Structure 1
Amino acid sequence: MMQTENSRINRRGMLGLLLGGVAQAGMARGALAQDLIASPLPKPRPADLYLQSIPTGEALIEASGLSGEVSYVVADSLSGAIHESHVPLLRLPPASVAKTVTALYALEHLGADYRFATRVLRSGPVVDGIVQGDLILAGGGDPTLDTDGLAVLAGQLVEQGIKGVSGRFLIDDTALPRIEEIDAGQTEYAGYNPTVSGLNLNYNRVHFEWKKQGEGYSLKMDARAERFAPDVRIARISVAARNLPVFDHVAGQGRDEWTVAQSALGNGGARWLPVRLPGLYAGEVFQAVASAQGLRLPQGQRLAASGEEIARIESAPMSVVVRDMLKYSTNLTAEVLGLTASRARGLTVGSLQASASAMSDWARGALNMRHISFVDHSGLGGASEVTTVDLAHMLVAPGVEARLAPLLKSFPMKDGQGGVIKNHPLSVVAKTGTLNFVSTLAGYVDAPGGKRMAFAIFVADVPRREAAQAQGAEIPQGARTFNGRAKKLQQALIERWGALAPADAFPG
């Protein structure tokens, strides 16, 4: 007991000494003691301190170093309420984001189960394996038809014992109007700017391959697919002793004549060139794959014709065609879908612009897109215009998300070195669009907490784009840098919205 009490006394004595020492020191330094007593307690951190550290959209735009204009809108995907926007009524080129509208247009007027058909017809009976009359290759506009598909079609004829034809081999490509090129403002040799027709093959492109051989080059043009790659005569190419243009095209008599600048060839390489005579191209390739299976055909002639169907192949259903169009951004597919949908509505459309105008009218009424003005269905033409608020209206329109979102491609978040960030808290599905000095993105983002938002972001320097087009370069100086910065800005904006969404802390 005594030991415990002494311990307590000792502790108390020590505490008193300490307190006394502090008191004496305070008496000696009264001013400092007064300051300590008067000093307020530290203020608690504001509840939104973290949110205050998130840069504004304007700050992100400023930091991007981009020239031109930026427009964006982000909205609640369920209610349609706009969370944030920046000059949302600015009309800018949509680039390939236009394909989202085309996808909805095609699904609405053709249906998810619609299939394109390519057929073979005969005008007379078959006697001893020979068609007594004409054999007709009839296109249905299928934008996905390739050389292997034509080989399957020819195989169906061979299985019936057909070995030849007494009459003509006709090519009917009148299912759709023939359109020389999607956008006249593109470089002549851009493989993504082919002719559109009622009979399309290999996306209306021919494969050009070259190899250094001694002092010259070995040149090859073929219609390659996975199984078959027949050489073609419909497109020919020769080397020219010049620097520019890299490629030059002249429409010959029944063929495409190309020249390529020798200075651009190096030791070898390959690329796709557009086909300007797609009906004859498909006919020649069909003739080649048929011959490989024992069916001999004369040279094809373009002519609308009718007869009894004896063979057919079909495309994948429209839902798959649309999904692949959005994934690979194939311009030919978009134009064929738009033209076919317009014709399914009973409209007479002889040009891309007429069909695109009809699609724009439909979008105004069906999707509440007030400022839309398209000149084609792919977005390749820079004269098309739409606003980001229009795209937001489209994305949140009744039934659109359920139909469109499953067809969109995942848009991964990337680190500063361009690597994909695994397990990122944001999940994005979207359609990208790229032209020289134009970068667009539109889709849906899932933020932590289960909040889903629809968004559209456009970045464009239209004067710079127009100046580059006038120079005729396929990829003008500065275009890659511009588009790279635009993509970084787009991701930064999406990450901003993802940070604000769980607390519903959008400005205003």
Structure 2
Amino acid sequence: MVDRISRRLFLGGVGASLIPAVGLAEAPLASLRPQMRGKQLTGTDRLVQAAGLRGEVVFAVADVSTGAQLESYQGELGLPPASVGKALTALYALDVLGADHRFETRLLADGPVVNGVLQGDLTLVGGCDPLLDTDGLATMAANLRSAGITEVRGAFKVYDGALPFVFSIDPGQPDHLGYSPAISGISLNFNRVHFEWKREGTDYAVTMDARTAKYRPDVDMAAMQVEGRSLPIYTYQASARQDRWTVAKAALENEGSRWLPVRKPALYAGDVFKTMARANGIVLGRVEVTRETPNGTVLVVHQSDHLDSILRGMLKYSTNLTAETVGMAATRARGVMPHSLAESAAEMNRWASETYGVNQIAMVDHSGLGDASRMAPGDLVSALVQARKTGALRPLLKPFALTDSQGRPVEDHPIKVDAKTGTLNFVSGLGGFLTTADGSELAFAIFTADEAHRATITRAQRERPEGARAWNRRSRKLQRALIERWGALYGS
């Protein structure tokens, strides 16, 4: 009994600056709505009002063991979930593909091998592996040599038709942002190329490479030109076989680097594989991209990690390419070959309705990057409660730290939270699970959005618009305050 009291007192101390005293004495609420002026505010209303956020605030929380809704604040109103949408994508992929699923990238020979010479074509076949990297291609090239191949007389092809080609996850984002690359049936290094520069006199030396910790092969399919201007910082132009970039000289320091998105994934993978094959004494011809399903003898197979491991990394690092790739792979496994991210997301929405009985989820992609997606917090909470019965999702979610009044993480906090965060400019979300001090488990979702202001931001301003960071900080503070409130109200 003493231990229980001390933990409750600790909760009160940690959350004192965030939770109004009146909130701690309230009974569970079936529904909380903004109150008319002049009426007494609830504890939740006070938290929302104190946050000072322009736009909408919605949330819902439920008891996992019973499914009973504990609080709902405009819980049926759909807002952009940002990367919280990846939690739904994880559930979708786990259900359709299975936790043990592995993606395969293969090398096929279309012709006989005579004395180490392949008399036909060699095809690098993409199998939707979102984690394929330069190290993986290097291993495949070494294994090709170990299989006895010393020469290829035919063409070298890259097959990327396992998924539709998508030029950019969100075309509304600036061209140079690495988190909105192209998507296809083959991806490499999250479809990002490494741009590095170093001043040499009055000019700059630049490189474009596909680096990992072990390798840094230069690539021909991406080129950078430094130009004597101030703005725009970057420009992009596609050619038949190259991503052509320019950068403003005035924006460069003496040296530096950044990752840029790849718009030609198959050429990128082929370019790097050619380099790795050459390092193993195998010279290949010009890369040919094909979307025709290849046939032939399998020479080499590279398997990805198990899907549950891939999803854990996706939820931890919020990798958009992973979400889109596994989401579309799940849609294809359901017997639907989508032509776009929106078509694949629509299939996921249907799956969510069939599986969890929710109808207020309308995603337009699998990553949450597109701000046209809508998700009602009540529907996500309902899905989380039902999914918790299998125990599949929570172990994959990242622990979420609670802080004191100074913003410092509180070690050994009695409330334990595992959740997915989501952030766009003037959009913030948090959804997942919390365990209270007495062991009660709750599922929750919190979405905030100032869509009117977001709509005024030009495409060029979307990397760092004025006021976005401060707005998102206030949203995160509200999220933590709500979690502290729920931990105190429903954990005693």
- Equivalent residue for 2:242? 255
Instruction: List per-residue Cα deviations over 1:432-452 (Å, max 9, x = no partner).
Output: 011111110001111111111
Instruction: List per-residue Cα deviations over 1:213-261 (Å, max 9, x = no partner).
Output: 2111121110011211101110001112222222110002310000111
SS in 2 for 1:137: strand
Residue correspondence of structure 1 range 444-463 to structure 2 within 5 A: 444-463=433-452
> What is the deviation of 1:416?
4.0
- Equivalent residue for 2:418? 429
- Equivalent residue for 2:45? 58
The answer as to 2:404 corresponding to 1:415 is yes
% identical aligned pairs: 49
In 1, the alpha carbon distance for the partners of 2:235 and 2:461 equals 12
Instruction: List per-residue Cα deviations over 1:45-100 (Å, max 9, x = no partner).
Output: xxx98934998121111111221111111111111111112111111001011111
Compared CA separation, residues 471 and 219, structure 1 to 2 (3 A): closer
> What is the deviation of 1:123?
1.2
In 2, the alpha carbon distance for the partners of 1:243 and 1:361 equals 48
In 1, the alpha carbon distance for the partners of 2:427 and 2:396 equals 23
Equivalent residue in structure 1 for 2:58, among 48, 59, 71: 71
In 1, the alpha carbon distance for the partners of 2:409 and 2:185 equals 41
- Equivalent residue for 1:353? 342
Q: Is the 8 A contact 1:438 1:483 kept in 2?
A: yes
Q: Is the 8 A contact 2:173 2:459 kept in 1?
A: no
Equivalent residue in structure 1 for 2:192, among 197, 205, 220: 205
In 2, the alpha carbon distance for the partners of 1:399 and 1:489 equals 25
Compared CA separation, residues 131 and 417, structure 1 to 2 (3 A): farther
Greater Rg, structure 1 or structure 2? 1
Higher relative contact order (CA 8 A, sep 6+): 2
Equivalent residue in structure 2 for 1:342, among 331, 341, 351: 331
Residue correspondence of structure 1 range 312-327 to structure 2 within 5 A: 312-327=301-316
Q: Structure 1 regions of 5+ residues with no counterpart?
A: 1-47, 504-508
> What is the deviation of 1:348?
2.7
Compared CA separation, residues 53 and 92, structure 1 to 2 (3 A): closer
Instruction: List per-residue Cα deviations over 1:2-60 (Å, max 9, x = no partner).
Output: xxxxxxxxxxxxxxxxxxxxxxxxxxxxxxxxxxxxxxxxxxxxxx9893499812111
Compared CA separation, residues 159 and 59, structure 1 to 2 (3 A): same
Compared CA separation, residues 401 and 468, structure 1 to 2 (3 A): farther
> What is the deviation of 1:417?
4.1
> What is the deviation of 1:177?
1.0
- Equivalent residue for 2:228? 241
Compared CA separation, residues 173 and 398, structure 1 to 2 (3 A): closer
SS in 1 for 2:124: strand
TM-score (norm 1): 0.87
In 2, the alpha carbon distance for the partners of 1:457 and 1:473 equals 23
Instruction: List per-residue Cα deviations over 1:469-497 (Å, max 9, x = no partner).
Output: 45543110111111111111100110011
Instruction: List per-residue Cα deviations over 1:415-443 (Å, max 9, x = no partner).
Output: 34443211111100000011111110001
The answer as to 2:256 corresponding to 1:269 is yes
State the one-letter code of the partner of 2:422: G
Q: Kindly report the root-mean-square deviation, in angstroms, between the aligned alpha carbons of the 2 structures.
A: 1.7
In 1, the alpha carbon distance for the partners of 2:311 and 2:22 equals 45
In 2, the alpha carbon distance for the partners of 1:53 and 1:358 equals 41
Count of matched residue positions in the alignment of Structure 1 and Structure 2: 456
Q: Is the 8 A contact 2:23 2:485 kept in 1?
A: no
In 2, the alpha carbon distance for the partners of 1:284 and 1:94 equals 37
State the one-letter code of the partner of 2:254: N
